[in-house]
Amino acid sequence: MDLNILWFILITVLFMGFFFLEGFDYGVGILLPFLGGNDTERRVIINTIGPVWDGNEVWLITAGGAAFAAFPNWYATLFSGFYLALFIILTGLIVRGVAFEFRSSDRNPVWRNLWDAMICAGSFISALLWGVALTNLLQGVPINDRMQYVGTFFDLLSPYTLAGGLTTLLVFTLHGALFISLKTEGELAQRAGSLAGKLGVLALPVFLLLILLTYVHTDLFGKSGAAAVLLGAAGCLALTWLLLRSGKNGWAFAVNGLTIVLFTVSIFWGLFPRVMVSSLRPEWSLTIYNASSSPYTLQVMTAVALVMVPVVLLYQGWTYWVFRRRVTVKDLHY
């Protein structure tokens, strides 16, 4: 198999895993100040992701490392052109991670409320900007013939990319609400399920708007497979809402996760064989060939991936199995 194609697929899979897992992490963080009526409930909510949130972020680190090693020109253009946007995302992730650790170091309500707000803000910013970044890759950004980004931060903001950001924000928040409803019990779980239903009503029309704008502003619909996957993601989102109305929250969580996966696949499918689209001239776009490392580098990376990826999957699967139970007040240590 063409190793350039193989590594494009592997990076796509890494982002699929990241958005599926970190999606409910972001959602839980966003909803923390709103679903948690008191400090005890907020502690329960935090503990639903406490054992796994930092492991979920490893998928992003691995995806970034894979892009750096397999497609260094893509990595260089992406991280220089999207520097401020990615810096804001990174700041949100750092603030969120620090808040998880610092929150419990003092029982003062003001202190804890401050860090709860930081968890919410960090999750909100990251969930929003990931959608902006993905849709920019597909829509195209100003890249010249030397693979250099020649725009500004504000060139990344448009009605289409903001619709993409709002879509990921709502879908991830819905994912988090469903996760809380499955990982807690009693009144808290019921409130989370009820809120998930309302979020589904908001997310579906925004997603449909994004599809319309994708048709207008990108060439994704010129690739029949990518368009079918994107429409399938919208269908899964609609099914998620129907399952919620039937009280099948577990199935709703799984199907909403499939929405995230299919949306990610559609973006990368729409890009292929490009990795970044130039809005200046199509021939200046970065592809899996003009942005790649040497064949030998790809061969070595493939050998390492065949050994390490199964280990990582088994370890993370084991982690989720160990912490599979619902979190209750009895599990809190005072």
Question: What are the b/e assignments for 280-319, b being 16+ CB within 10 Å?
Answer: beeebbbbbebbbbeeeebeebeeebeeeeeeeeeebeee
Q: Give the whole-angstrom CA distance, residue 262 versus residue 58.
A: 21
Contact status, residue 161 vs residue 129, Cβ threshold 8 Å: no
Number of domain units in the chain: 1
For residue 127, is it within any domain?
yes
Q: Distances in Å between the alpha carbon of 149 and those of 79, 142, 162, 211, 282?
A: 10, 6, 20, 26, 14
Domain span including residue 95: 3-194+267-331
For residue 182, is it within any domain?
yes
The pLDDT score that the predictor gives to residue 81 is 87
- Nearest-CA neighbor of 209 among 172, 175, 180, 170? 170
DSSP annotation string for 170-217:
HHHHHHHHHHHHHHS-HHHHHHHHHHHHHHHHHHHHHHHHHHHHHHHH
Q: Give the whole-angstrom CA distance, residue 170 versus residue 174.
A: 6
Mean pLDDT by 10 residues, the chain (334 residues): 91 94 94 90 91 86 90 92 88 90 87 93 94 93 92 90 96 96 92 93 96 95 92 96 92 96 96 93 94 92 88 87 83 64
For residue 255, is it within any domain?
no
186: β partners = none
For residue 183, is it within any domain?
yes
For residue 202, is it within any domain?
no
Q: Give the whole-angstrom CA distance, residue 286 versus residue 275.
A: 6
Q: Give the whole-angstrom CA distance, residue 174 versus residue 190.
A: 14
**Cα-trace Rg, the chain:** 20
The pLDDT score that the predictor gives to residue 77 is 93
- Nearest-CA neighbor of 267 among 148, 82, 143, 138? 138
Q: pLDDT tens digit string along 269-297?
A: 999 999 999 999 999 999 999 999 999 99
Q: Is 248 helix (H, G, I), strand (E, B) or coil?
A: coil
For residue 21, is it within any domain?
yes
For residue 223, is it within any domain?
no
Q: Give the whole-angstrom CA distance, residue 311 versus residue 329.
A: 34
What are the structure tokens assigned to 221, written together?
């619909």
For residue 258, is it within any domain?
no
Q: pLDDT tens digit string along 228-247?
A: 999 999 999 999 999 999 98
